[in-house]
A and B are shown apart, each in its own frame.
Chain A
């Protein structure tokens, strides 16, 4: 079966520090990968998605970037964190053909990021 792992589960970082959150998927090949942010008591905002190695689409302009160095690895980064970057970051995957045919996305358990 497929599994998705995110780490760390929680992270406290000072303003201006760099960030690297990692997500890996097991049990499937060529997945679509997604990064979301969820503010407290709010819905999910899509940040980035990827349909393949090195292919990243950004949904909103921001202080963050994403990379996909391997098929089942998705990384969310920042060079200098802002207070507004605090939130709950979720990684998700879907089967490759889901890009143009409807299939659900499956989520990891997230990273809670607090910026001080």
Chain B
């Protein structure tokens, strides 16, 4: 069936670098996307979301880019810090549906 997936299971970066986590989705009807951060032993924490009428949205140190043409979503983290080490999930939703579909996750490892 249609699903959301991630290109890289693990991303290792140095502290201070910029990180980019990618996500591909296959449901062209999806119109809402979310990025979550999950630290070990905790539940996913909302980071940022974007609706399909936007291409880019910025938060504090994070930017989400949406390319609907190729059904691709990315999360950019500026000046990555050791506290950013976690698993990052993308999720998508289609208008009129109650549920989110989650990708498998990418682990981000930040070295000091």
Contacts and interface: CB of A to CB of B under 8 A. Distances in A.
Interface stretch (B14-22, B66-74, B77-85, B95-103): B95-103
B93 A43 contact: no
Given A43-B89, A43-B103, A102-B93, A110 B98 contact: no
Given A43-B89, A90-B44, A104 B102 contact: no
Contact of B51 (A102, A105, A112): A102
Given A43-B89, A102-B31, A102-B32, A49 B42 contact: no
Interface string A63-86: 000000000000000000000000
Contact of A49 (B31, B98, B105): B98
In this complex, the member of A42, A44, A57, A106 whose beta carbon has the largest number of chain B beta carbons within 10 angstroms is A44
A56 interface: no
Contacts of A7: none
A59 B1 CA distance: 14
| Interface size range on B against A | 20 to 34
B112 interface: no
A108 interface: yes
A106 B42 contact: no
A46 interface: yes
A99 interface: yes
Interface string A99-116: 111101111111010000
A109 B45 CA distance: 9
Contact of B99 (A42, A46, A101): A46
A115 B34 CA distance: 32
B49 A104 contact: yes
Interface of A: 6, 32, 34, 41-44, 46, 49, 51, 57, 59, 90, 92, 99-102, 104-110, 112
